[in-house]
């Protein structure tokens, strides 16, 4: 018994010693971790709830408005939790520009949402990263320019499309109409001519069906239920919208593959009709050279085309809808635009070279883009490495949202940030002036690749429409131009008639 007592006492002492050592190690690890995190000063933010994060504190219809309020308390770099997902928000012109331009590499990756990761699988332009993204973006920029983006050839396509749009609206004979559909057709035709090499009639069933599918696809992507799925994929994978999204994605895929097949059958390498032809020729040349592991494959072609089509049409269409709604709500400004067009251009069609002589009109278009604020949260970025930014430590792989509304509405940059005020872009002599904080196309590595095309489309479509028509609200109706639907990524005017 004596030996057993001694053994038990020894064993107990060893256990106690081991326990004390373990507790000491845990204490040291926790202390070091806490000190390390304190030294690294990760961005602060409102306290999150388990699993839900800060969702209960957000206005889910207009989350950017809540984030603007968070900025006033926590500064221009802060952390929020979208469900369990940690997100760093960048707010204010100086902070956003510094991050996207001065630290372009560190903040340059895209963080695809769950639904877009499933859909794109890392292919295409918008939601891709790495070498594949670099190859596709470079090829897209080069070939979109070759097919007229930002050049006279593209201007001619847009002015011709203006004629078709004008003719459609003339048939309305001044009646109250929803102009969203004809504008969608006009803008989408510009993309079709650049990508596929041909335009469509507005009543072509294949064309209208494609536009409807793309619009519905985008609306579903931004719907609250899909946003919940993005945050909680394990719990929300059975939602109906996800199934409809995947079915629409399959339909768009099938439609484009059929178009590619037809284009490939009539392909002439010496005379490419559009982006798809150029891609197919480049792909064939690589294969004939024995290169089989390139990024030029059908999946990248499919996703690049759908990215160009959706990204190149929806934003321009939405901005034009906002612009005409703002003209209807501000008849005095509409008068000034039309008077300037009449005195400078007269009855001939507006051309891009007229822009330098249309200071007020140019200022109005820029102010429409600023106030429309159609992408208030931009698309999510992701850090490529650990970085200390403005004194805050941000870990590699962190999701980052550049809060673009805080740039376009920055009170330190704009005299009347929340008002429609074209004088923001005019100097004391009423000449057009650029503003540094005007970043509707974002900045840095992820700046919109179609910026020059969008600028040309907005100018030519807007001026030509105001040359031929006067826009006003229907009798007895007075809609607030800020009566918007927030769809997380894009702000769109509520359906309306003019």
**To which CATH superfamily is domain 41-493 assigned?**
Cytochrome P450 (1.10.630.10)
**Taking a C-beta distance cutoff of 8 angstroms, is the pair 436, 93 a contact?**
yes
Structure tokens at 210: 């494609």
pTM assigned to the model: 0.87
**Which helix (H) or strand (E) element contains residue 190?**
helix 180-195
Please state the domain extents for the chain: 41-493
pLDDT by position in tens, the chain (length 498): 454 454 345 445 555 555 556 555 544 444 444 444 444 699 999 999 999 999 999 887 788 999 999 999 999 999 999 999 999 999 999 999 999 999 999 999 999 999 999 999 999 999 999 999 999 999 999 888 776 666 677 888 899 999 999 999 999 888 888 888 899 999 999 999 999 989 999 999 989 998 999 889 988 988 888 989 999 998 888 888 999 999 999 999 999 999 999 999 999 999 888 899 999 999 999 988 988 889 999 999 999 999 998 888 888 999 999 999 999 999 999 999 999 999 999 989 999 999 999 999 999 999 999 999 888 988 999 999 999 999 999 999 999 999 999 999 999 999 999 999 999 999 999 999 999 999 999 999 999 988 989 999 999 999 999 999 999 987 765 555 444 444 445 566 767 788
Q: How far apart (Å, rounded) are the C-alpha atoms in residues 164 and 460?
A: 13
Q: How far apart (Å, rounded) are the C-alpha atoms in residues 456 and 322?
A: 17
Q: Give residue 21's pLDDT.
A: 61
Beta carbons within 10 angstroms of residue 354's beta carbon:
18
Strand bridging mode 77-82 / 109-110: unpaired
Q: How far apart (Å, rounded) are the C-alpha atoms in residues 395 and 319?
A: 36
Binding site residue list for heme: 448
The DSSP string of 4-17 is: HHHHHHHHHHHHHH
Q: How far apart (Å, rounded) are the C-alpha atoms in residues 324 and 341?
A: 16
Looking at residue 1, the DSSP 8-state letter turns out to be -
CA angle 301, 302, 308 (to 5 degrees): 85
**Taking a C-beta distance cutoff of 8 angstroms, is the pair 95, 66 a contact?**
no
Beta carbons within 10 angstroms of residue 164's beta carbon:
16
Structure-token match 């822009």, residue found: 355
Binding site residue list: 448
Q: How far apart (Å, rounded) are the C-alpha atoms in residues 201 and 195?
A: 16
Distance of CA 252 to the CA centre of its chain: 20
Q: Give residue 365's pLDDT.
A: 98
Q: Give residue 162's pLDDT.
A: 94
Q: How far apart (Å, rounded) are the C-alpha atoms in residues 280 and 287?
A: 11
Q: How far apart (Å, rounded) are the C-alpha atoms in residues 489 and 197?
A: 30
Residue 320: which residues within 8 A CB-CB, separation 6 or more?
183, 187, 458, 461, 462
**Taking a C-beta distance cutoff of 8 angstroms, is the pair 128, 122 a contact?**
yes
């Amino acid at each position: 018994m004596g030996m057993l007592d001694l053994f038990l006492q020894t064993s107990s002492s060893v256990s106690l010693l081991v326990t004390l050592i373990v507790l000491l190690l845990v204490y040291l690890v926790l202390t070091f971790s806490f000190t390390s995190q304190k030294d690294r000063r990760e961005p602060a933010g409102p306290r999150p709830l388990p699993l839900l994060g800060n969702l209960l504190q957000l206005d889910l219809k207009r989350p950017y408005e809540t984030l603007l309020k968070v900025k006033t308390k926590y500064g221009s770099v802060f952390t929020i939790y979208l469900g369990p997902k940690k997100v760093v928000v960048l707010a204010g012109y100086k902070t956003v520009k510094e991050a996207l331009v001065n630290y372009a590499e560190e903040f340059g990756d895209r963080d695809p949402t769950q639904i877009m990761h499933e859909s794109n699988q890392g292919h295409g332009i918008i939601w891709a990263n790495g070498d594949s993204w670099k190859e596709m973006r470079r090829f897209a920029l080069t070939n979109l320019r070759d097919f007229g983006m930002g050049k006279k050839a593209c201007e001619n396509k847009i002015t011709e499309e203006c004629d078709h749009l004008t003719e459609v609206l003339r048939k309305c004979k001044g009646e109250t109409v929803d102009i969203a559909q004809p504008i969608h057709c006009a803008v989408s035709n510009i993309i079709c001519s650049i990508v596929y090499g041909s335009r469509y009639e507005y009543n072509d069933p294949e064309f209208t069906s494609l536009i409807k599918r793309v619009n519905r696809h985008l609306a579903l992507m931004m719907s609250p239920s899909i946003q919940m799925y993005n945050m909680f994929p394990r719990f929300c994978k059975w939602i109906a919208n996800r199934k409809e999204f995947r079915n629409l994605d399959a339909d768009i895929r099938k439609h484009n593959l059929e178009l590619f097949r037809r284009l490939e059958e009539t392909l002439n390498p010496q005379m490419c009709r559009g982006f798809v032809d150029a891609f197919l020729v480049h792909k064939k040349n690589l294969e004939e050279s024995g290169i089989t592991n390139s990024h030029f494959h059908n999946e990248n072609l499919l996703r690049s085309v759908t990215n160009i089509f959706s990204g190149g049409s929806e934003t321009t269409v939405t901005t034009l809808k906002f612009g005409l709604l703002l003209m209807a709500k501000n008849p005095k400004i509409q008068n000034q635009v039309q008077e300037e067009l009449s005195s400078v251009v007269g009855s001939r069609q507006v051309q891009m070279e007229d822009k330098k002589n249309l200071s007020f009109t140019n200022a109005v278009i820029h102010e429409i883009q600023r106030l429309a604020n159609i992408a208030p949260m931009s698309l999510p970025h992701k850090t490529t490495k650990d970085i200390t930014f403005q004194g805050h430590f941000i870990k590699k792989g962190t999701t980052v949202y550049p809060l673009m509304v805080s740039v376009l509405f920055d009170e330190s940059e704009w005299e009347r940030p929340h008002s429609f005020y074209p004088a923001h872009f005019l100097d004391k002599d009423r000449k057009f002036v650029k503003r540094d904080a005007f970043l509707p196309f974002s900045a840095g590595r992820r700046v919109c690749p179609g910026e020059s095309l969008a600028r040309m489309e907005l100018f030519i479509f807007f001026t030509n429409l105001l040359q031929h028509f006067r826009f006003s609200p229907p009798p007895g109706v007075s809609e607030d131009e800020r009566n918007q639907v927030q769809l997380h990524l894009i702000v769109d005017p509520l359906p309306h008639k003019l």
